[in-house]
Chains A and B, each alone.
Chain A
Amino acid sequence: MKPLVVKELTKIFELREGNIFSKRKREIYAVRDVSFDVDNGEILGLLGPNGAGKTTLIKMLCTLIEPTKGEAYIKGYSITKEAQKVKQNLGVMLTGERALYWKLTGRENLEYFAALYHLDPSWTKSRIDELLELLGLKDRENTLVENYSTGMRIRLNFAKALLNDAPVLLFDEPTMSLDPQSSRLIRSLIKELRDKGKTIILTTHYMEEADQLSDKVAIINYGRIVALAKPSELKVKVNKSKVIEIEGRGFERLEELNIKGIMKVDYKDSLLKVYTEDSRELLPKLLEFLIGKGVQVSNIKLPEPSLEDVFIELTGRTLRD
């Protein structure tokens, strides 16, 4: 059995809305019938817009939320029946800065959670030193967390998830509100963890992050997984590039660009961008037209579809709407 197996996991939240006189029950399907598995040394990226159900899924896996239906296994232990064993095998980072005690120092926070993870006391100190060093917090270890910056808190939260050196790691938006440098640090650490054979799930809003890090990407929308494959395979599915970029001189000679299939045209200095439904079909006609008008073409690019294109194609939504 793979270290992380998810079978038809479903979560329905029941809400009561309205005022005290007329309360109506309302059901929210946060996660529906989700199944997948993740192997050793593999990263699964969960990509989805706000409210798609990513956090709910992660919280079910770490036993904070009880599933309505379905089951999952961490290292073979059932999340509904063997919660303690599951927690022993998990390192979890939930979103944000609130996961830490602000009235304790960075080191005290890690010491506290080390004890709660039953770390061997002889190992605790060196483990904490190592993690503080790794995340660049060593010289601020004795500062109260309330005096940390947001980025420092998030890095400490990340360190906390690694404390028990668990085989399965869950990261919910690990790079949210980090600057590019810290994000790069976290990403490279996640890659190292993967190379050490850890099983990793990470959720993100950043396409590039999902693209760079994930061995498999699951696109989740309204609680359902709508696609699950390697990033490159997903991109192949959207095989039409939708932009043609042409570099050259003499664009000012064009009064109009009126070819069937062109949706929009942008041009600045020596770069012309043409948007279309199907660039491969348009390209020959476009070139013929341009050359006929005396434009000197020096370079042509058909940019690869990005994960974002895949996402829009599959969900009809951009990531942030």
Chain B
Amino acid sequence: MIRDLRVLKAVMIKDLKHYYRYPSGTLFLFIVPFLFTFLLSTMGSFVGGTLAKEYFYLRTGVENFFLYQILGTNIWIMAWVILEDIGTSIRNEQIKGTLEQNFLVPINKFFFLLGLSFAHTLLALLSFIVVVGSSLALVDLESLPRLFPSSLILLLGLIPLFGLGFVFSSLVIHLKEPYSFTHLINTFFSVVAGTYYPVHILPYWVQWISYSIPHTYLIDEMRKIIFSNQLVVELYGNTIILLSMGIIYMILGLRLFRFFERRARINGGLSKF
């Protein structure tokens, strides 16, 4: 067990070093939420004119448009980066030729994948604290302490996201073409997950999709904590759903991964690109 933890730590440190040495991808996480929020508020006042704020309040029950958008986009971009990075990291190692090397060692693959995820956890948490924390400090200093319970929920929501990331990584190994696939799906998620608007304004059948991905619950829960000061215990419904999604997506992701690993061993695909 201690050996496995050491593997986990080594994978995590290796990935963090890669982030640190390819910094541009990381900057994305910190800047894009603000850009999107600016884009949306400009469009909102362009379309809604002087009544824009009022309409927004009527439909969402939230006065602070800026914070509402920052929460949505921050979670969405974070999920984007996680799904894309986990989804493509295996594929990228395959292209670079290092993937094989990780299959030459006597490790439990689960801890290898978990190590990948842990590097992302740190990054996700950091971006949440910086982006949401600085926004709160700027426009709603009183609510700043709510950053703590919302970070806890974030950690919980990361579990199904990682599971989904493993599903992505298996599909990417199979499809061989990483970015077009992840970009398409991630953009789609931004439309259905309630990133910019409440999910209930979507057509009924689209909401089915919304409620089957973790993004939606995570964003919803964040807003409830920050705007209505709800306690984590009051949100047990969402929390239970996130937890069960964590289990389901994790199992699905690991299953698929094992399946594609086996196929790669048969056709010699671990080193193909």
Binding site for B on A (CB under 8 A): 13-14, 56, 59, 62-66, 84-85, 87-88, 90, 92, 94, 96, 98-104, 108, 111-113, 115-118, 121, 144, 160
Asked if residues A116 and B102 are in contact (CB atoms below 8 Å), the reply is: yes
Report chain A residues within 8 Å CB of B270: 64-65
Asked if residues B17 and A108 are in contact (CB atoms below 8 Å), the reply is: yes
Report chain A residues within 8 Å CB of B100: 64, 94, 99
Report chain A residues within 8 Å CB of B3: 118
- A56 vs B266: C-alpha distance in the bound complex, in angstroms? 11
> Scoring B residues 1 to 23 as 1 if CB is less than 8 Å from chain A, else 0, what string do you get?
00100110110011001100110
> Scoring B residues 235 to 273 as 1 if CB is less than 8 Å from chain A, else 0, what string do you get?
000000000000000000000000000100111101100
Report chain B residues within 8 Å CB of A100: 98, 101
Segment touching A, from B104-112, B178-186, B187-195: B104-112
- A111 vs B10: C-alpha distance in the bound complex, in angstroms? 8
Known: A84-B106, A96-B97, A116-B105. A104 touches B7 (CB 8 A): no
Asked if residues A116 and B265 are in contact (CB atoms below 8 Å), the reply is: no
Confirm or deny: B103 has a beta carbon within 8 angstroms of a beta carbon on chain A: yes
Known: A98-B96, A104-B14, A121-B6. A113 touches B268 (CB 8 A): no
Report chain B residues within 8 Å CB of A101: 14, 18, 96, 98
Asked if residues A66 and B265 are in contact (CB atoms below 8 Å), the reply is: yes
Most chain A beta-carbon neighbours within 10 Å: one of B10, B102, B104: B104
Number of A-B contacts (CB under 8 A): 81
Residue in A closest to B100 when the chains form the complex, CB atoms? A64
30 cross-chain CB contacts under 8 A: A13-B267, A63-B265, A64-B104, A64-B268, A65-B265, A66-B262, A66-B265, A92-B104, A94-B100, A94-B104, A98-B96, A98-B97, A98-B98, A99-B97, A99-B100, A101-B14, A101-B18, A103-B17, A103-B21, A103-B22, A104-B14, A112-B10, A113-B101, A113-B105, A115-B9, A115-B10, A116-B105, A117-B105, A118-B6, A144-B21
- A94 vs B262: C-alpha distance in the bound complex, in angstroms? 20
Interface size on B, residues (CB 8 A): 29
Asked if residues A104 and B105 are in contact (CB atoms below 8 Å), the reply is: no
Binding site for A on B (CB under 8 A): 3, 6-7, 9-10, 13-14, 17-18, 21-22, 96-98, 100-107, 262, 265-268, 270-271
**Least distance between B261 CB and chain A CB atoms (Å):** 11
Asked if residues B104 and A87 are in contact (CB atoms below 8 Å), the reply is: yes
- A76 vs B101: C-alpha distance in the bound complex, in angstroms? 23
Most chain B beta-carbon neighbours within 10 Å: one of A88, A117, A144: A117
Asked if residues B106 and A62 are in contact (CB atoms below 8 Å), the reply is: no
Asked if residues B106 and A118 are in contact (CB atoms below 8 Å), the reply is: yes
Report chain A residues within 8 Å CB of B105: 87, 113, 116-117
**Least distance between A72 CB and chain B CB atoms (Å):** 15
- A312 vs B105: C-alpha distance in the bound complex, in angstroms? 38
Residue in A closest to B5 when the chains form the complex, CB atoms? A115
Of A13, A59, A84, A99, the contact of B101 (CB 8 Å cutoff): A99
Known: A59-B268, A87-B105, A99-B97. A115 touches B7 (CB 8 A): yes
**Least distance between B102 CB and chain A CB atoms (Å):** 7
Report chain B residues within 8 Å CB of A111: 10
- A255 vs B194: C-alpha distance in the bound complex, in angstroms? 97
Top 7 A-B pairs ranked by shortest CB distance? A98-B97, A115-B10, A116-B105, A87-B106, A66-B265, A88-B106, A118-B3
Asked if residues B268 and A102 are in contact (CB atoms below 8 Å), the reply is: no
Most chain B beta-carbon neighbours within 10 Å: one of A56, A64, A108: A64
**Least distance between A90 CB and chain B CB atoms (Å):** 8
Report chain B residues within 8 Å CB of A59: 268
Residue in A closest to B101 when the chains form the complex, CB atoms? A99
